Every structure is written in C-alpha cells, then in structure tokens.
Amino acid sequence: MAQGSKKQPRRRRWAAIVLAAVGAALGYLLLWPIDVDPLGWQPPTEPPLAGAKPAEFDLSSVKLLGQGASDGPEDVAIDAQGRLYAGMLDGRIMRFDHDGTRGELFADTGGRPLGLDFDPEENLIVADAFKGLLRIGNDGAITVLAVEHDGVPFMFTDDVDVAPSGMIYFTDASSRHGLYDYDIDFIEQRGSGRLMRYDPATKETELLLGELNFANGVAVSPDESFVLVNETARYCIHRVWLTGDRAGQSENFIDNLPGFPDGVSCNGKDRFWVAIVSPRSAVLDFAHPRPWLKRAMCRLPRAMLPKPQQYGLVLGLDLDGAAVEVLRDPLGEHFSLITSVEEDGGVLYLGSLSRPSFARVSLPEPK
C-alpha cells in the first residue's frame, strides 16, 4: 500500500505537467501574436475540367535539358535564333543551344529571375522577384524598367508576356509577401496581387487588375484583345479585355482548376498552355473557411506548412477557356513542379520550380 500511495502523487504530477504542456501549446497556436491576418474563403468543390472531355497524354517522353547548369529554371524563353534561356535560383540567366546543351552565362540579375520573354527588338524582358521588371540587351546589360506602381513597391515580380505591339504585361504576385513567404500569402488570402502593363514608349506602368490572391502567369491573346492572368491561390484564371466594348472589364476565363496554376502562355494561334505546379491541398481547402485555424497554421514551423506535391500537370485551353488537352506525370517520375510552358515549333518547353533541369516534350498527336 505504501508503494501504491507514492505512485499516485507521481502520476498526478506527470498528468499536470502534460496538461500544462498541452495548454501552453494550444495557447501558443491560438493566441501568440503574429504578423499574419488571414481571411476566410470557401474553396469550391473540385469538379471535372470545363468543356468537353480533354484528350489525355502522359509526360513520359520528356527530354531533360540544361542538366547541371543550376536549379530552378522557372521559365524558358526562345530567341529568334532558337536559343533557349532559363532563369535560375542563384540569379543567373543561362543561354543554351536549341538542343539544351552548351549552356553559358547570359546575365546575372543578382535576384531571382522568374518570367522571361523577348520584346520585338529581341531584348529579354525579365520579371525578377527581387529586382522588379528588367530589360536585358543582347550584350547582357541590365536596365530596370519598373519597381513600383502608384507608390506601392513590387514585393514579388512574377511573370511577364510581351505583346507583338511591344506592350509589356506583367504581374506582382503580392505586395504583402515576398518570394520566401509565398505560402503565407496563399494562406492569408488578402488579395494584394496585381496585373500591370508597362508601356516602353512612355515608360509608364498601368494597373489592369488588382486584389488578386497571388497574381502569377500572364498571357496575351493572339489578337491582343485580352490578357489572361492566373490567380494561383484561388485555382482560377481571369481574362481582362483590352479592346472593344468590354475594354477594362474582367471575367473568369476558367475557374475551379484541379491545382495551383503557375505560368500561362499562348502559342499565338489557338492554344493557351497552363502549368499546374501542384495539385490542390486538402489541408488548405479545409483550413480556408476557418481563419482561426489558418492563424494557428502560421504559428507552426514553416517546414510543417503544406508543400507542393511532386506531380506533373499541363493543361491546353482553347481561346474560350475549355480544357482540350491534359498532359500528366502523376507520380512526378519524369518531370514535376512545372511552372511554365512555352510552345515553339511543335515542341513544349517546360520550366520547374526547383528541379535541376528544364524539359522538352513533343506536342501530342491528336488521336
């Protein structure tokens, strides 16, 4: 009896310690002050892709390019000579022969080059997450075009598309959070992303669409009558009309996508290509309507927040926003975390968030 009576207080002490630890952890997760103020949002239930059932193809035939040059070739641009350009994690923009070999340094922005496109004079226009909107001449000389709009600095210059007219369309993913806090921006849903247009003639920047939840990929239509912008954290793509009776108006082009749309490009004829960097996150979708839960998530170590999945997915959309082609690598064995798609000469070039290479795949033949 004496030994049992000694164990009871000991157990009660351990129980009290455990309860105190649990209480402290809950207090931290629910009450600790943080500089994040998430809004509630109800994600729609994921439906089948819009339009007729799209043709399905796999990505098993991709060829890896630029291996060993560096990591994170986010976007790929092709110059008039067929040479390939890719911006890397370390700030370098590498130039490769048309077959992806013989890589050489083209320029070093000292930041993080993301979106790339050539203007009519064959200058490379760059959306750099840290440095803003840049122009790089054939000699590698860098000119800063824009770093803010209306007094609000670009926190995360993300993607760019140059129209045949020379007008430059680009995005600032968020004016609240930078590159290393993109996941917080997804969670917060504060809508600080912007789609903008830069006029090289006047050197002025114009806001086309604001209040976007992570403004990402941008693509101009073949006739420059509208421009698309991906709202990554809301699984959708918007269309902003540039000409005609609806000029200045915006509408959904396609919504409720099966994942996070990253880059979007146009082949200049009949197709928009959309890179889905990762499937949707069930954890995020559950948390979005519950701001208290999202605040608690933001108090966790960053390693515990939802991360992109190793999955390869590219969508081909027609000019009305219907999905007509789907290219997949469900296990991410061949190419994954796809951030950009560029069509050139019957070939798709794919960029990636963090892989040590970019890729090329021939366009699928209609069945």
**Which parts of 222-338 fold into alpha helices (H)?**
282-287, 291-298
Edge-first strand order for the sheet with 124-128 is: 113-118, 124-128, 132-136, 142-146
d(CA 187, CA 246): 32
pLDDT of 33 over the 60 cut: no
pLDDT value of position 278: 95
58, two tokens? 């796999």
57-78 confidence digits (pLDDT tens)? 889 999 999 988 889 999 999 9
Contacts of 211 (CB under 8 A, 6+ apart): 191, 192, 193
User: Which DSSP letter does residue 233 get?
Assistant: G
Rounded average pLDDT over 91-111:
94
Contacts of 317 (CB under 8 A, 6+ apart): 253, 254, 271, 272, 273, 274, 323, 324
Which 3-state string (H, E, C) describes 89-128? CCCEEEEECCCCCCCEEEEECCCCEEEEEECCCCCEEEEE
262-310 confidence digits (pLDDT tens)? 999 999 999 999 999 999 999 999 999 999 999 999 888 888 889 999 9
Residue type, 182: Y
User: Which DSSP letter does residue 300 get?
Assistant: S
List domains and CATH numbers for the chain: 33-362 (2.120.10.30)
Is residue 59 within 8 Å of 332, Cβ to Cβ? no
d(CA 353, CA 5): 61
**Which parts of the chain fold into alpha helices (H)?**
2-31, 182-188, 282-287, 291-298
pLDDT value of position 28: 41
